[in-house]
Amino acid sequence: MQWETVIGLEIHAQLATKTKIFSGASTAYGAEPNTQACAVDLGLPGVLPVLNQEVVRMAVKFGMAIEAEVADYSVFARKNYFYPDLPKGYQISQMDHPIVGIGHMDIDVDGQTKRVGVTRAHLEEDAGKSLHEDFHGLTGVDLNRAGTPLLEIVSEPDMRSAKEAVAYMRKIHELVQYLDICDGNMQEGSFRCDANVSIRPVGQEEYGTRTELKNINSFKFVEKAINIEVERQIDIIEAGGRITQETRLYDADKNETRSMRSKEEANDYRYFPDPDLLPVYISDELRAQVKADLPELAHIKRQRFIEQYKLDLETATQLTSSRQLADYFEALITESGCNAKICSNWVTVELSGALNKQNLDISQSPVTHERLAVLLKRISDNTISGKIAKQVFEIMWTSADSADAIIEAQGLKQITDSGAIEAIIDKIIADNQGQVEQYLSGKDKVFGFFVGQTMKASQGKANPGEVNKILKEKLKR
Amino acid sequence: MHTKTIAQLAKGLQAGDYSSVELTQSYLERIKQHQNLNSFISITEEQALTTAKQADQALAQGNAPLLTGVSIAHKDIFCTQGVKTSCGSKMLDNFIAPYNATVVEKFNAAGVVTLGKLNMDEFAMGSSNETSFYGSVLNPWATDTVPGGSSGGSAAAVAAHLAPGATGTDTGGSIRQPAALCGITGLKPTYGRVSRYGMIAYASSLDQGGPMTQTAEDAALMLQIMAGFDPKDSTSVEREVPDYSSDLNNSLAGLKIGLPKEFFDAALNSEMAATIEAAINEYKKMGAEIIEVSMPNLKLAIPAYYVIAPAECSANLSRMDGVHFGHRCTNPADLNDLYIRSRGEGFGTEVKRRILVGTYALSEGYYDAYYIKAQKIRRLISDDFNKALTEVDVIMGPVTPTPAFGLGEKISDPIEMYLADIYTIAINLAGLPAMSIPAGFIDNKPVGLQIIGNYFAEAKLLNVAHQYQQVTDWHQQTPKGFE
């Protein structure tokens, strides 16, 4: 039988606020355990939550970016369950009145554009962390993360393959970073997702029983986890079995999913409006403010790059994959005065390559757009060749020196003096009479040999245009 | 010294008639002398004397705030830094609060001395103070009767002159009912008037802290310190705090008093009805106009309250899980065992009952039928009051159906106990301010008159109460043995 996969994703994006959603404690990652948890985060008797208004602004921004309904009125609710890293015994979340309603996100898969529905996005606080290692049979609790603001983005079951799911996740990942509302750091858990997966015979309208795959923190694992889960479900059904509705955990080491709890064991969370918090009203003023602050979104920027800079789709997509990268590229053009072609080449090839090699983000690049601009200027004013520029770039990567200083210190300035080039060429012609004869007898390829020899003799510094011109003259047939 | 009101004590201290240390010492002695009342859970003698010394220095320098050096005590529901804050429960018997409630902070800043922490029903759940882990509090007027609850320790301490004033909290009548049963003045402010930060939550949408004093004048002085917006409490209201003492002497001529006919139906016993009627007559003499009003939904208040309050408390008390603070069972076998035994051992029967009721009411399949319906009733009750308050200035009625009942009389019958709050609960559901003032005696037991006002009309309530206290002396009576 032919099976169709049905996938819906719940993405948790940690909002990039300085302080927590309901307290003034810092959200910085990586501090000593329990040093960034105040009385409110600890859930001490008598403490009360106070909403960080910044999270509201961020959620509204997201809502507007996915063209969703942003509710006039939204309500925080308590989700009740016991766990040691949940100090209050309930999580403050949203249930009946989420801040962001129905919206959508367009994805591109295999050259096709597809619209994925976003059911809702709501605000909630993160729990702490239970640490089971290092405590000899006991469990440690770190509440630094408790109270960190999260935006949970819930999609419709609109995706039909792991590939589509990954494409959707990437688009959301790109968007939240574009909006500057999430740092997107998946290793630190700032962006993670749960996947609801089911299968059904092709043509059937009714959904199959779904399983929920928990806490997947990389694009690669999302794809793998879904694929392995789909295989598992097909195997069960084809063997005459039935799928149990349950929560499953993806084990990346073994590449398998395993059951965490079934529906019967699931908690009744007993949601009800949190009486400690007032409903959130979104004013027209805030809407207008957020709208005015909304940055140019990736798909619009990409289209503009194609038209304005005459870039191909692939390059434009790569350059707009992050707002910082796109900003870098545009700043480079302005600063260097070079054309878009050369700038896009440098950003997508040399710069991106160097960044990838060290697993760095564009914001961490040791070569700023100002420094790179100087280098590109030296190419366009013929101080150095493109080839030498790559050499200079490598040095710039590890030193703080400017391109000019490096060119000067290493004596990399291009030789444009035709007299000097002529002298080199004359010597090469004299030393390689055999090749001269070959060339004169019609072997055009040998011309390249002379260019190579000249460049080598000049240590790459001879201006290639000049070399070509002089060689052509000297070797006139 | 100990029979003086806060207003009198403040004057004496400012005039240098006695020092804060002397005053504090005399109260500390009385507290020890009358420990049989069991009104205190903790006595903070050392801290009290240190603060009193500082108060005396401030007084000597002049320009000290009005209540500097006056001593009061806090209901043990308010977190006090470095001092056990038990909330009347075994669960928090080992809990030393690491911070001060906003209310406590404000009294400290005003130079007021704290004598100790007062007994209360466990987690403020009870109407007799009998659910306290620390045992019952005795009513100074008749030690075989209850002082009421949940602020029973506060009421008994003020009635017995162990403190000139105390803080209390009121979720369904917990200030007004014990004030009535102990013959003192109690004020539950408008919801949102006093910060709840650091006040251990029972039912967050109903809880409100307020003063418990001998007189309305004193209540005004204490409320002046307690009231105000607190950025740490989202439900506190950003609204100017008026001078609560300035309207006390306003004339009541032309005051419109509403009497809900539902308050005076057959269920109210005749002696009680007669006492309230006599009080109303005093107001008539002062020129007030009496208007009958109706609150058709009042009878739904108790059932609605006993869905909403338990629902909220079932979540509020989840943090008492034996993990981060409070009682933890010994040698838990696993996580579930830790939860079950810690909570099983730490909570008393009434608290468990309400957690269970609330958990049930919020469960899947029951939520709409209970919680949502109760919220609808709550709105109807508010509407009843709001409508009446467009026609009248204040609403009056009894605080309790009977004077203080016997210790042990109702503790085994929760429904009977819940009915003790029949006249007070609706006011919390509506979020309105209300007072209880002494209005007479039945069989030597005090009876309270309830005065209910419009939102943020505390000054009006205090004015109405104060004027009554100018023409009566019920509030000046002292129980035998505590003169």
Q: What is the mean pLDDT of residues B190-210?
A: 98
Give a yes or no: residue A391 inside a domain. yes
Beta-carbon separation of A272 and B101 below 8 A: no
More confidently predicted of A361 and B296? B296
Q: For residues A33 and A109, state if they share a domain.
A: yes
Selected for mutation to probe chain A from B362, B367, B372, B379 (highest A CB count within 10 Å) is: B362
Q: Which residue of A has its CA nearest to B371?
A: A272
Return the H-helix or E-strand segment holding B142. none
Q: Which of B87, B205, B311 lies closest to A45 in CB terms?
A: B87
Residue in A86, A76, A121 with CA at minimum distance from that of residue B235: A76
Using a 10 angstrom Cβ sphere, with 0-12 exposed, 13-18 middle and 19 or more buried, the burial of residue A409 is exposed
Q: Which of B79, B201, B359 lies closest to A270 in CB terms?
A: B359
Q: How confident is the model at residue B135 (pLDDT cuts 50, 70, 90)?
A: very high
Give a yes or no: residue A304 inside a domain. yes
Q: For residues A261 and A176, state if they share a domain.
A: yes
Give a yes or no: residue A40 inside a domain. yes
ipTM score here? 0.96
pLDDT at A420: 82
Q: How confident is the model at residue A477 (pLDDT cuts 50, 70, 90)?
A: low
Q: What is the mean pLDDT of residues A34-63?
A: 97
Interface of B with A (CB under 8 A): 78-79, 85, 87, 92, 95, 97-99, 101, 196-201, 203-205, 231-235, 311-312, 314-315, 317-321, 323-325, 335, 339, 359, 362-364, 367, 371
pLDDT at A386: 85
Q: For residues A230 and A372, state if they share a domain.
A: no
Beta-carbon separation of B85 and A82 below 8 A: no
Instruction: Mention every residue, 6+ apart, whose C-beta is less than 8 A from residue B304.
Output: B374, B377, B378, B381, B429
Q: For residues A21 and A142, state if they share a domain.
A: yes
Amino acid letter at A338?
A: C
Q: For residues A257 and A367, state if they share a domain.
A: no
Of A371, A387, A410, which residue is a domain's last?
A410
User: Going from the N-terminus, what domains does chain B have, and what CATH number goes with each?
Assistant: 6-254+393-476 (3.90.1300.10), 299-375 (no CATH)
Q: Is B150 a catalytic residue?
A: yes
pLDDT digits (tens, 9 = 90+) for A193-221: 999 999 999 999 999 999 999 888 899 99
Q: For residues A268 and A319, state if they share a domain.
A: no
Q: How confident is the model at residue B201 (pLDDT cuts 50, 70, 90)?
A: very high
Q: For residues A316 and A364, state if they share a domain.
A: yes
Beta-carbon separation of A45 and B235 below 8 A: no
Question: What are the b/e assignments for A252-285, b being 16+ CB within 10 Å?
Answer: eeeebbeeeeeeeeeeebbbbbbbbbeebebeee
Unique residue bearing structure tokens 């269970």: B356
pLDDT digits (tens, 9 = 90+) for B283-320: 999 999 999 999 999 999 999 999 999 999 999 999 99
Domain range spanning residue A307?
Answer: 296-410
* A43 in reach of chain B (CB within 8 A): yes
Amino acid letter at B200?
A: I
Q: What is the mean pLDDT of residues A222-247?
A: 95
CATH number at residue A454: 1.10.10.410
Beta-carbon separation of B363 and A268 below 8 A: yes
CA A297 from centroid of its chain's CA atoms: 14
Q: How far is A336 from chain B (nearest CA, A)?
A: 51
pLDDT at A381: 86
pLDDT at B266: 75
- Output the six-digit token pair for A288: 């207008």
CA A465 from centroid of its chain's CA atoms: 40
* A138 in reach of chain B (CB within 8 A): no
Give a yes or no: residue A24 inside a domain. yes
Unique residue bearing structure tokens 């106990």: B417
Can you tell me the distance from the alpha carbon of B7 to that of B385, in angstroms, rounded to the nearest whole number?
A: 33
Can you tell me the distance from the alpha carbon of B292 to that of B332, in angstroms, rounded to the nearest whole number?
A: 60
Q: How confident is the model at residue B416 (pLDDT cuts 50, 70, 90)?
A: confident
pLDDT digits (tens, 9 = 90+) for A113-122: 999 999 999 9
Residue in B429, B431, B427 with CA at minimum distance from that of residue B396: B427
pLDDT above 90 coverage of chain A, percent: 71
Query: Which residues of chain A have a CB within 8 Å of the CB of B205?
Result: 275
Residue A416 has pLDDT above 80, yes or no: no
* A38 in reach of chain B (CB within 8 A): no
Q: What is the mean pLDDT of residues B168-194?
A: 98
Q: Is B75 a catalytic residue?
A: yes
Of A385, A410, A435, which residue is a domain's last?
A410
Beta-carbon separation of B324 and A87 below 8 A: yes
Q: For residues A253 and A341, state if they share a domain.
A: no
pLDDT at B419: 87
Q: For residues A177 and A271, state if they share a domain.
A: yes
C-alpha torsion sign, points B25, B28, B30, B33 = negative
Can you tell me the distance from the alpha carbon of B347 to that of B327, in angstroms, rounded to the nearest whole number?
A: 9
Give a yes or no: residue A335 inside a domain. yes
Q: For residues A331 and A362, state if they share a domain.
A: yes
More confidently predicted of A160 and A361? A160
Q: DSSP letter string over B420-444?
A: GGTTTHHHHHHT--EEEEEEEEETT
Pairing of strands A149-155, A112-125: antiparallel
Q: What is the mean pLDDT of residues B225-247?
A: 98
Q: Which residue of B has its CA nearest to A43?
A: B319
Q: For residues A12 and A104, state if they share a domain.
A: yes
Residue A265 has pLDDT above 80, yes or no: no
Least confident among A133-147, B40-54, B114-128: A133-147
Beta-carbon separation of B318 and A268 below 8 A: no
Give a yes or no: residue A71 inside a domain. yes
Give a yes or no: residue A211 inside a domain. yes
Q: How far is B325 from chain A (nearest CA, A)?
A: 8
Of A264, A286, A308, which residue is a domain's last?
A286
Q: Is B174 a catalytic residue?
A: yes
Can you tell me the distance from the alpha carbon of B164 to that of B146, in angstroms, rounded to the nearest whole number?
A: 20
Residue A264 has pLDDT above 70, yes or no: no
Q: For residues A320 and A458, state if they share a domain.
A: no
Question: In Å, what is the CA distance from A75 to each residue of A71, A113, A155, B50, B379?
Answer: 10, 35, 20, 46, 18
Residue B454 has pLDDT above 70, yes or no: yes
Residue in A183, A171, A196 with CA at minimum distance from that of residue A104: A171
Give a yes or no: residue A100 inside a domain. yes
Selected for mutation to probe chain A from B77, B232, B328 (highest A CB count within 10 Å) is: B232
Q: Domains in chain A: how many in total? A: 3
